[in-house]
Structure 1
Amino acid sequence: MTMQEIVSSTPTHAKMDRLLLGDNQFFGINHMSEEKARAQAIRFQDTEAIIGVIEVALDHGIRTLMCTTHERIAEVCEHARANPQRYADYRFYPCMPYAHKYANAVTDSGMLGALRQFLPDEGLLNAAMRGGRSLLTQDVEGIITLLVDAEMKMFHGLNTPVIFLQNVVVDLLLGLGFDEAFTIFDRYVRERYGSEPGYITMNLPMLLQTLGRLGIENPIVCANINEIGFRMSGGIEAYERALRDRRFRPVAMSVFASGAIPPQRALEWIHDHAAVESIVFGASSRSSIENTVRTVRELWDGNA
């Protein structure tokens, strides 16, 4: 039975826009050029510079930020809360966990200080006790839900219709065969936050097989999808089969292969081959945003 023959058990879905703004460029991440990554890190040292790009994207109709839980995203969240009219229809797609944040916090503040910093204000003692019991009894569900709550703290009061599990965790779980963690994350995100769970992976075919086996139907999955196979584990043909035969909601990242593919050609290939629901892209200039929005609207009949 193919995934097209399976009816999703989720009654409603978060409606995702065609274009989502990513945040790699804000934190000096570029998979092709260390020099460009350093330049971007310097440029966006000031959070106001990050907000400036988000504002330009918003002016061009891009209403979603797909972001890590980097501590400076908390400042962006504060800006959104301080401007409720401007951001009334804005959406954040948190991608968790951001591992460096925890390591740095423990180094700077110790274990208890890190707990105080990241645990939700509401039910702090309960959360701390839940974490303590979890560690003592190896209660995996308690640990996972505690970490999700800690990561979601910065987004309180904001619209987070999709919450993603980062590829560093997704692909580790796949490698370990630890399937239970996916079902725990899926259930908790839906029940606690009323959001749809999403998964980021470097191995799309393997993840879809696993989620299908677990009964997680029509999932939102973000993966590298581009015409040169850049960072696509298993190769283009396996990805094209998955896109054709599996029922899921694809979010394409690295469509420009970190600058290796000209934007027009990259987006034309996505349009002709991938049938994705959304594209997440990093942009650091007005011209990049304008050109991407214009090209997407031309290819997808005005829908960006």
Structure 2
Amino acid sequence: MTSTSISMDRLLFGDNQFFGINHMSEEKARTQQMRFQDTDAIMSVLDAAQDEGVRTFMCTTHDRMQEVCDRARTDPARYSQMKFFPCMPYAHKYANAITEGGFLGAVRQYLPETGLLDSVARGTSSLARKDIEGIATLLIDAELKMFRGLSTPVIWMQNVVVDLLSGLGFTEAFRIFADHVRTKYGAEPGFITMNLPRLLDDLDSVGVTNPLVCSNINKLGFRMSGGVEGYLDAIEKRPFRAVAMSVFASGALSPREAIEWTCSLPNLESIVFGASSRAHIASTVSLVDEYWPHEAVGRR
């Protein structure tokens, strides 16, 4: 099973700042969550990113993303060049839905609008036969419902699920995900992990070759399970497409030091970063243009 190898932008814009996620400061996380309660505030930052030449939004399937997708659909002139990279599943969403309406209520809530009977049939037969593949594909379809009509050339499996499946040894799930994403959506599957070397072994074992993998990659080894050396060895020697996140080590590294080190790595595909202001976005774009000069990412 080979990668479709779509062309990736050098910089991808992440969404942690919009939903109160900060791995170093709970206070900063709360402040950001309050600031972005209004969808207008989110759209303002996304507009700034687009204006600075960053047109790929790597986002979770948080319920608030529905509002962002609706805005993008209603203003195609403004957002026609914007690509969405959904990251799924958003586990808290399902936990809350099951608590409020039970399992079947949660399934009904997130079923795609099209193919309803087919989805129900797959869900029912899956439960009866304990068919993991049927349940998995049903949930993928449910997660992607909010992105209908938008460009989603890469669809990611979130690290909370990737690393759980890896730990349980249920690596066949990666093949199921990859097959369904490619076949039904014509998209490339991506995998997010906190343990890059182990995941590469798992993907090799089920025939997912030259995979698109996003992991923490930074000079300090922040949240890099197994240590920096193991990651650097994998990036240099193993056939996969590396996307670096947490390159600033959640603020422990200066932007210049972090970007200079990251851009010096071999075989790096993209960097995903988050920012709350146009100034911070412009600064990151400028630094990447400086240290990745063969293909500037900023405004032409």
Rounded Cα–Cα distance in structure 2 between residues aligned with 1:120 and 1:214: 28
**TM-score of the pair, normalised by structure 1:** 0.95
Residue aligned with 1:163, SS: strand
Structure 2 residue aligned with 1:269, among 261, 266, 270?
Answer: 261
Rounded Cα–Cα distance in structure 2 between residues aligned with 1:53 and 1:64: 13
Residue aligned with 2:8, SS: coil
> Given residue 60 of structure 1, which amino acid in structure 2 is its aligned partner?
E
Which residue number corresponds to residue 281 of structure 2? Answer: 289
Instruction: Tell me, yes or no, if structure 1 residue 175 matches structure 2 residue 167.
Output: yes
Which residue number corresponds to residue 292 of structure 2? Answer: 300
Residue aligned with 2:64, SS: helix
Which residue number corresponds to residue 88 of structure 2? Answer: 96
Which residue number corresponds to residue 2 of structure 2? Answer: 9
Rounded Cα–Cα distance in structure 2 between residues aligned with 1:23 and 1:17: 17
Rounded Cα–Cα distance in structure 2 between residues aligned with 1:9 and 1:21: 26
Instruction: Tell me, yes or no, if structure 1 residue 278 matches structure 2 residue 270.
Output: yes
Structure 2 residue aligned with 1:18, among 4, 10, 14?
Answer: 10
Deviations 1:145-177 (Å, cap 9, x if unpaired)?
001000000000010000000001110111111
Deviations 1:163-209 (Å, cap 9, x if unpaired)?
00000111011111112111111111000000000000000000111
RMSD: 1.2
Residue aligned with 1:16, SS: coil
Which residue number corresponds to residue 160 of structure 1? Answer: 152
Structure 2 residue aligned with 1:203, among 190, 195, 200?
Answer: 195
User: Once the 2 structures are TM-superposed, how far is the Cα of residue 274 of structure 1 from its aligned partner?
Assistant: 4.9
> Given residue 263 of structure 1, which amino acid in structure 2 is its aligned partner?
P
Question: Quick one: structure 1 residues 95 and 25, their matched pair in 2 at CA, closer, same or farther if it must change by over 3 Å?
Answer: same
Structure 1 residue aligned with 2:179, among 187, 205, 208?
Answer: 187
Residue aligned with 2:58, SS: strand
Which residue number corresponds to residue 124 of structure 2? Answer: 132
Residue aligned with 1:291, SS: helix
Residue aligned with 2:155, SS: strand
Which residue number corresponds to residue 115 of structure 1? Answer: 107
Rounded Cα–Cα distance in structure 2 between residues aligned with 1:111 and 1:248: 37
User: Once the 2 structures are TM-superposed, how far is the Cα of residue 216 of structure 1 from its aligned partner?
Assistant: 1.1
Which residue number corresponds to residue 244 of structure 2? Answer: 252
C-alpha contact 2:241 2:267 (8 A) present in aligned 1: no
Rounded Cα–Cα distance in structure 2 between residues aligned with 1:174 and 1:18: 28
The count of residues paired between Structure 1 and Structure 2 equals: 296
The runs of at least 4 aligned residues of structure 1 exceeding 4 Å deviation read none
Identical-pair percentage: 62
User: Once the 2 structures are TM-superposed, how far is the Cα of residue 116 of structure 1 from its aligned partner?
Assistant: 2.7
Deviations 1:223-260 (Å, cap 9, x if unpaired)?
00000000000000000110011011100000001111
Residue aligned with 2:220, SS: coil
Which residue number corresponds to residue 83 of structure 1? Answer: 75
Rounded Cα–Cα distance in structure 2 between residues aligned with 1:267 and 1:152: 32
> Given residue 28 of structure 2, which amino acid in structure 1 is its aligned partner?
K
User: Once the 2 structures are TM-superposed, how far is the Cα of residue 115 of structure 1 from its aligned partner?
Assistant: 2.5
Rounded Cα–Cα distance in structure 2 between residues aligned with 1:24 and 1:274: 27
